[in-house]
Amino acid sequence: MATSWGAAFFVLVASCVCSTVFHRDQQTWFEGVFLSSMCPVNVSASTLYGIMFDAGSTGTRIHVYTFVQKIPGQLPFLEGEIFDYVKPGLSAFVDQPKQGAESVQELLEVAKDSIPRSHWKRTPVVLKATAGLRLLPEEKAQALLFEVKEIFKKSPFLVPDDSVSIMDGSYEGILAWVTVNFLTGQLHSHSQETVGTLDLGGASTQITFLPQFEKTLEQTPRDYLTSFEMFNSTYKLYTHSYLGFGLKAARLATLGALETEGIDGHTFRSACLPRWLEAEWIFGGVKYQYGGNQEAGAVGFEPCYAEVLRVVQGKLHQPDEVQRSSFYAFSYYYDRAVDTDMIDYEKGGVLKVEDFERKAREVCDNLENFTSGSPFLCMDLSYITALLKDGFGFAGSTILQSTGAYVLHCKPVGSHQEGSRVRWLKAQARAPA
């Protein structure tokens, strides 16, 4: 995904407080995401600002955060956020890096309008690129980042040496996990009764949780585990980012576009699309021709699910513990639930994993009559169902409780449903897809 709202929020909190230390393989990996030099000169200042650019595969988002610190030396709380975005993402400018940087310049004007001029010089500005740029050749990705850094240098904001970089996928998961548990108060209780996070972006997907059973630690690949110390507690997390398993990358995999050479003039067809459909789609700066199967009986949920199942089956690690853990899921999980009226955009609602399957059947088996803003709706719903059930191994009866726009609260059946304290997240909607 793009740098998640979690990464955006927490790295800014850490930059202002300068009190959190992370360790990965005995090395401090958090250094370089934000540097101590980014903290305001007067840490006790009552109002602090931070600018985070989320450079994802589908668009570039800007989050301008306002923090208020009531007591010097303690964590500030988030007072508000300004959000805006541009499309397409930086990766679409793979051969025009200067044009890509210009899209960032446009969003910088939002920051200037949102932050008092007196705070500009001490307000950190950071851009973290994720899966969209990780998929590009190294030299092309770095060319884009170089041009963005040049734009930052011309701005009036505080720009550290490592303000523009590509974030490792596992860091996305970790920072999202820290943010959710920070906002819900779990990290302050020292009980380590935390919730996991599921993030579905355009090019990648992340899963992160704190294992409670030794069996999970023993059966988990070593590179899926990471330890860090925070608030005088040590956490050993299960976290992994699956590059190429984001919603839009999964579309390409389902269509078979990832394996096909010489795509010019070739039309990719799927049972997940209306039989009459003939269209084109641009992703990552590449144009694809696609359409529905024109053979009788070759459309609908069953043949579509068979296609998306090939994308995930046997390719993701399935820790047994997820069956008994609580999760927050966000990004495209929420988008598609809203798009199909399974939950209300503002009020949210309660879902189960199997509700995605039910809705996928309803949409896919009525493709010729179903009207939608996205011709990929059947494919997307089927993929989300397959990803949760056959990919990560969640039971169909797992409860998904919405807690605000772009956040779903996932709990196993029979668990206690706690009230949400993260309603503010609805202001951080991703760019429409």
Q: Which residues are catalytic?
A: 172
Instruction: State the DSSP H helix or E strand holding residue 138, giving kind and residue range, or none if neither.
Output: helix 138-153
How far apart are alpha carbons 87 and 57 in whole angstroms?
Answer: 10
Please indicate if the annotation marks 203 as binding a ligand.
Answer: yes
* Alpha-carbon distances, residue 197 vs 68, 175, 207, 209, 276 (angstroms): 26, 10, 6, 6, 38
H helix and E strand count, the chain: 12, 16
- Name residue, tokens 């793979």: 94
Please indicate if the annotation marks 202 as binding a ligand.
Answer: yes
- By the 10 Å C-beta count (0-12 exposed, 13-18 middle, 19+ buried), 63 is classed as buried
Please indicate if the annotation marks 262 as binding a ligand.
Answer: no
How far apart are alpha carbons 350 and 311 in whole angstroms?
Answer: 28
SS3 24: strand
Please indicate if the annotation marks 323 as binding a ligand.
Answer: no
Please indicate if the annotation marks 123 as binding a ligand.
Answer: no
* Alpha-carbon distances, residue 270 vs 251, 291, 292, 355 (angstroms): 10, 7, 5, 23
Tokens of 253: 């995999």
Phi-psi region at 311: left, alpha or beta (left = phi > 0; alpha = psi -120 to 50): alpha
Among positive and negative, which fits the CA dihedral 243, 244, 250, 254? negative
Cβ contact 269:305 at 8 Å:
no
189-215 burial, b at 16+ Cβ within 10 Å, e below that, comes to eeeeebbbbbbbbbbbbbbbbbbeeee
Annotated binding site: 202-206
Annotated binding site for ATP: 202-206
